[in-house]
């Protein structure tokens, strides 16, 4: 499984990527939607984990952009809020979401579930 993590907090996303690599998951990270789109020009990913709130291009907008080019790509949202609003956005978008701070095992379980196409 090859994943792309997108979050504007460098310390967060780089550490998460390293921890995932210890668990056999190939994770690359980007600090912005723009950087993520650039990576997508040359690299292929199965799944993107997107922070909802980011400057310039937020996770929801980024997902739409990515889907235009890669309609089969899967997504998980990450959010710091855990508000009803975020839940509704996730539901409306048919995207699973996790609230920060996340348990890495929960994240991996969700990644597998999403990749297998289970609800």
Partner 1 sequence: MGGQIEGLSKLDLEGKGLQRYDLQYSGLQYFGAMSASIAHEIKNALAITNENAGLLEDLSLISIKNGQPLDSERVAKLSKKMMDQIKRADNIVKKMSRFAHSVDDPVKVVNLSEVVELTLELGRRSASTKSITLAPVCCDFPISIETNPFLLMNLLWLVIKSAFRRVNSDKKIEVELSKSISKDNKKGDVNIIIANLLPYNLSCQCEEENQKELIIMLGNLLNLNIDMNSEDKIIITISQLTK
Partners of residue 49 on adjacent β-strands: 5, 76
Closer to partner 1 by Cβ: residue 22 or 119: 22
CB of 93: closest distance to partner 1 in angstroms? 18
Question: Alpha carbon of 8 to those of 25, 88, 104: distances in Å?
Answer: 21, 23, 19
Instruction: Provide φ and ψ at 46, rounded to 5°.
Output: -90, -30
Query: Within positions 13 to 72, which residues make up the interface with partner 1, using CB under 8 A?
Result: 15-16, 18-19, 22, 53-56, 58
Residue 87 binds partner 1, judged by CB under 8 A? no
The gap between the terminal CA atoms of the chain, to the nearest Å, is 19
User: What letter would DSSP give residue 8?
Assistant: S
Segment lying near partner 1 (by CB under 8 A), choices 42-50, 62-70, 95-103, 111-119:
95-103
Near partner 1 by CB under 8 A: residue from 38, 81, 109, 112:
81
The answer to whether 78 and 98 have CB atoms below 8 angstroms apart is yes
Q: Which residues of this protein are in contact with partner 1, per CB under 8 A?
A: 9, 11-12, 15-16, 18-19, 22, 53-56, 58, 80-81, 83, 99-102, 104
């Amino acid at each position: 499984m090859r994943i792309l993590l997108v979050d504007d907090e460098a310390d967060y996303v780089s550490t998460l990527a390293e921890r995932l690599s210890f668990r056999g998951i190939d994770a690359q990270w980007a600090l912005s939607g723009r950087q993520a789109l650039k990576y997508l020009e040359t690299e292929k990913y199965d799944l993107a984990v997107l922070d909802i709130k980011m400057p310039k291009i937020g996770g929801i907008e980024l997902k739409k952009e990515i889907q235009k080019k890669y309609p089969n790509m899967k997504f998980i949202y990450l959010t710091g809020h855990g508000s009803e609003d975020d839940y509704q956005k996730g539901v409306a978008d048919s995207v699973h979401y996790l609230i920060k701070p996340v348990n890495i095992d929960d994240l991996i379980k969700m990644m597998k579930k999403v990749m297998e196409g289970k609800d």
